[in-house]
Chain A
Amino acid sequence: MNIKKIREIIGLMNENDLTEIEIEQEGIKVKLVKKPQGIIEQIVAPVEEKGGPAPVQEAPAKPQMQQKNIREVKAPMVGTFYRASSPDADSYVEVGDVVRKGDVLCIVEAMKLMNEVKAEFGGKILEISVENAEPVEYGQILFLVEPT
C-alpha cells in the first residue's frame, strides 16, 4: 500500500461516487472516508502481522494526510539512486529537510555518469522512497515532498 495506490483508490471513489471504502492488504488496513465537503481523510493503521510478507518500504503509520499537499519527485532517467555525492559524503537531504527549487536532492548514476536530480519546487521532504544504491526506472518515485 503506498501513495500511488491510495491515489488510485481515491480516483475510483470519485469516479463511482463512493463515500467510504476499506481495504486490507499485506498487513496494512486503509479506510478512506469522503466527507460531504469533499475532503478525503485517510486512516492508515498497521494490522498485526503474523509473519506475513515483508513490510512495504515506506513507514506504515502516518497521521492524517490530505491528498493535495503531497507531490512526488520522480526519476528522470534509468539508473542507480544515490543519496550522496560519494560514499563518505553526507546525504543531500534527510526526511524533514526543507529544500528550495534548484537544490540537489540526489544522484542517479547511469553509464558511469553521475546525474544530479534537482528539486523543481520548494518543500519539505516527507519521505525518501528508495534505498541508497538501489536501481530506479524512469518515472519511479524517489521522494515525497510537501510543497511550501
Chain B
Amino acid sequence: MFSRILIANRGEIALRIIRACRELGIKTVAVYSEVDAHSLHVRLADEAVCIGKAMPASSYLNIPSIISAAEITDVEAIHPGYGFLAENAHFAEICESCQIKFIGPSPENMKLMGNKMTAKNTMKKAGVPVIPGSEGVLKTKEDALKEAKRIGYPVIIKASAGGGGKGMRVCHNDVRLVSAFLTAQSEAEAAFGTPDVYMEKYIEAPRHIEFQILADEKGNIVHLGERDCTIQRRHQKLIEESPSVYLTEKMRKKMGECAVAGAETVDYKGAGTIEFLLDGNDFYFMEMNTRIQVEHPVTEMVTGIDLIKEQIKVAAGQRLPFRQEDIEISGNAIECRINAEDPEHDFRPSPGKISALSIPGGPGIRVDTHVYAGYEIPPFYDSMIAKLIAYGSNREETIKTMQRALDEFLVEPIKTTVDFHKKVMVDSDFQKGDISTHFIEKLFPKKEEH
C-alpha cells in the first residue's frame, strides 16, 4: 500500500480523497494555487505545496509544477480526482515515466475512450449497442447531408474531441443542416483544437443512465449498478440517483453486462463509468469516463462500497475483495449538487465570502463539502460548493429526507441552488420518476418565454 499520495485537485474531491487516505493510513500531500491557501483540503492534508497562481493553467493544470511537488514531497502515487488532469493521458504518461503511480486507468485507456469516435467503435466491436451514426469524421457538407439522410432526422452533430455541449448542433431537416455542420466545426476547432465532427441519431427525450465500473489489475471487472443522471442543465448534471426508477431488473442486468464487456474489451483498470442513453427500452452507449465522478456518492450509499478506497487499493495492486455476485444494491440514494449560482438569474455564478453556514445532518444524510463559514469562494473554478446526498430504504423516503435536509441547508449571503432543488423535490413529475433531459427547461422556462 502507498505510504504517501499527492492529490492533484482541489475543493470537495480533494477533501474526499484525503479522507479515504487517512482511513487507509496513507499520508497526504495537497497542492494548491495561491487563492486556495485557506482551503479545507490544504488544512487537512499532512503537507501542502503551493504550485502556482489562481488560473488553472498556472496551477491545477500545470503538469511540471505538480510533478515537481510530487518529487519534493517524495510521494508514491498521485490521485487526480475529477476534471483538471484526471483524463489527461499525457499527464498519466509523465507520472509513469517518473515512477509515480497514477491512480486511474492507463494512458492507452484514456486515449481510446477520450476520443468519442474511437470509443464508440471499440464498444461496437464488443457487442455494446451504440447510437446509429456516421462511421467516422464528416469532412464535407455533402457528406453531412448524405449521412443525415441515411440515419434519418433528427440528427445531432458532435465534436470528436470533446463534450460539455461545445461543437454540438441538433438538426431536424436539410435546410438547417449545412449551417449547423459548419458552425459545429468552427466551434469544435475553437474549443478543442480540431474541427473534426461526426453525426448521430438524435434521441429527443432520452434518459441518461450510467454504470459504475471497478476493475482490478488482475482482470476482475465488476459493475456497481447504475446512476440516473437525467436531470441536467446545459449538459451539466444537477441531480443524480441510484437506482434508476426507470430500469427493470432485466434491463439492469443487460446494461450492466454490456458495461463490463466494454471495460473488458479495453482491458480497463481502476474506476470508470459507462454512460448510456435510454430511448424507451432501447439503450445505446454514449461515452466512457475514465475517472472517478462527481456523483460517485450515490453508488457508495446503495452498495456500501467506498469507491475512492477501492481506487487506491486497486492502484496499489490489491485484488477487489468482491465479485459481481457479491454486489448488492439496496435502498435508494439521491444527490443534489449545490452550486454557488443564482437560479433566478439564469444560474449565473455567485462567488464571494460565506458568512453563515449551516449544513444539514441527521439520519440518511451525507454532505460532501469543502466550504466553511468564513470561506471565500474563489471565482476561478467551478461553482459547486457541496453535494447533498440523501439515503433511504425507498425513493419516497429518500425524497422526504432530501426535502427536510434542503430546508436545513443555510448558506449566506451567496446565492445557491438550494431553493431550486427544493422545487424539484416537490414536483409531481419528479416524484413519479417521470423525467427526461428536458426536465429543467420545462420546470424552469427561460424568463423571456413568459
Task: Tell me how far the C-beta of B28 lies from the nearest C-beta in chain A, rounded to whole angstroms.
Answer: 16
- Residues of chain A within 8 A of B34, CB atoms compared: 138-139
CA distance A139 to B54 in the complex (A): 12
Task: Given A78-B49, A111-B98, check contact A138 B72 (CB 8 Å).
Answer: no
Residue in B closest to A112 when the chains form the complex, CB atoms: B71
Question: Is A110 touching B68 in the complex (CB atoms < 8 A)?
Answer: yes
- Residues of chain A within 8 A of B59, CB atoms compared: 138
User: Lowest 10 CB-CB distances: which A-B pairs, in order?
Assistant: A135-B72, A110-B68, A78-B68, A137-B50, A137-B49, A138-B50, A78-B69, A138-B52, A79-B68, A78-B65
Q: Is the interface of A mostly helix, strand, loop or mixed?
A: loop
Question: Which A residues from 95 to 143 make CB contacts under 8 A with B?
Answer: 110-111, 135-140
CA distance A110 to B73 in the complex (A): 12
Residue in B closest to A79 when the chains form the complex, CB atoms: B68
- Residues of chain A within 8 A of B69, CB atoms compared: 78, 137
Task: Given A135-B73, A139-B34, check contact A77 B50 (CB 8 Å).
Answer: no
Task: Tell me how far the C-beta of A94 lies from the nearest C-beta in chain B, rounded to whole angstroms.
Answer: 25
Most buried by A among B52, B68, B72: B68
Does B317 count as interface, using CB distance less than 8 angstroms? no
- Residues of chain B within 8 A of A110, CB atoms compared: 64, 67-68, 71
Task: Tell me how far the C-beta of A92 lies from the nearest C-beta in chain B, rounded to whole angstroms.
Answer: 20
Can you offer 13 A-B residue contacts whose CB atoms are under 8 A?
A: A77-B65, A77-B68, A78-B68, A78-B72, A79-B68, A111-B68, A111-B71, A135-B72, A135-B73, A136-B72, A137-B50, A138-B49, A140-B50
Most buried by B among A77, A136, A138: A138
Task: Tell me how far the C-beta of A107 lies from the nearest C-beta in chain B, rounded to whole angstroms.
Answer: 13
Question: Is B64 touching A77 in the complex (CB atoms < 8 A)?
Answer: yes
Residues of B within 8 A of A (CB): 34, 49-53, 59, 64-65, 67-69, 71-73, 98
Residues of A within 8 A of B (CB): 77-80, 110-111, 135-140
CA distance A78 to B72 in the complex (A): 8
Most buried by B among A136, A137, A139: A137
CA distance A78 to B65 in the complex (A): 6
- Residues of chain B within 8 A of A137, CB atoms compared: 49-51, 69
- Residues of chain A within 8 A of B65, CB atoms compared: 77-78, 138
Task: Tell me how far the C-beta of A5 lies from the nearest C-beta in chain B, rounded to whole angstroms.
Answer: 14
CA distance A138 to B48 in the complex (A): 11
- Residues of chain B within 8 A of A135, CB atoms compared: 49, 72-73
CA distance A110 to B428 in the complex (A): 58
CA distance A138 to B69 in the complex (A): 9
Task: Tell me how far the C-beta of B413 lies from the nearest C-beta in chain A, rounded to whole angstroms.
Answer: 22
Residue in B closest to A78 when the chains form the complex, CB atoms: B68
Most buried by B among A80, A111, A136: A111
CA distance A77 to B64 in the complex (A): 9
- Residues of chain B within 8 A of A111, CB atoms compared: 64, 67-68, 71, 98
CA distance A137 to B37 in the complex (A): 12
Residue in B closest to A134 when the chains form the complex, CB atoms: B72
- Residues of chain B within 8 A of A138, CB atoms compared: 34, 49-53, 59, 65
- Residues of chain B within 8 A of A80, CB atoms compared: 72
Residue in A closest to B67 when the chains form the complex, CB atoms: A111
CA distance A61 to B267 in the complex (A): 63
Residue in A closest to B33 when the chains form the complex, CB atoms: A138
- Residues of chain A within 8 A of B53, CB atoms compared: 138
Task: Tell me how far the C-beta of B280 lies from the nearest C-beta in chain A, rounded to whole angstroms.
Answer: 53
Task: Given A110-B64, A111-B64, A138-B65, check contact A78 B51 (CB 8 Å).
Answer: yes
- Residues of chain A within 8 A of B64, CB atoms compared: 77, 110-111
Task: Tell me how far the C-beta of A33 lies from the nearest C-beta in chain B, rounded to whole angstroms.
Answer: 30
Residue in A closest to B34 when the chains form the complex, CB atoms: A139
Question: Is B72 touching A139 in the complex (CB atoms < 8 A)?
Answer: no
CA distance A78 to B53 in the complex (A): 12
Task: Tell me how far the C-beta of A123 lies from the nearest C-beta in chain B, rounded to whole angstroms.
Answer: 24
Most buried by B among A77, A78, A111: A78
- Residues of chain B within 8 A of A77, CB atoms compared: 64-65, 68
CA distance A137 to B68 in the complex (A): 9
- Residues of chain A within 8 A of B71, CB atoms compared: 79, 110-111
Residue in B closest to A140 when the chains form the complex, CB atoms: B50
Most buried by A among B51, B69, B72, B98: B72
CA distance A111 to B71 in the complex (A): 8
CA distance A21 to B349 in the complex (A): 41
CA distance A79 to B67 in the complex (A): 9
- Known contacts A110-B67, A110-B68, A139-B50; 16 further A-B pairs (Cβ under 8 A): A78-B49, A78-B68, A80-B72, A110-B71, A111-B67, A111-B71, A111-B98, A136-B72, A137-B50, A137-B51, A138-B49, A138-B50, A138-B51, A138-B65, A139-B34, A140-B50
Residue in B closest to A75 when the chains form the complex, CB atoms: B50
CA distance A80 to B53 in the complex (A): 19
- Residues of chain B within 8 A of A139, CB atoms compared: 34, 50
Task: Tell me how far the C-beta of A121 lies from the nearest C-beta in chain B, rounded to whole angstroms.
Answer: 21
Residue in A closest to B69 when the chains form the complex, CB atoms: A78
CA distance A44 to B209 in the complex (A): 65
- Residues of chain A within 8 A of B52, CB atoms compared: 138
Task: Tell me how far the C-beta of A64 lies from the nearest C-beta in chain B, rounded to whole angstroms.
Answer: 31
- Residues of chain A within 8 A of B67, CB atoms compared: 110-111
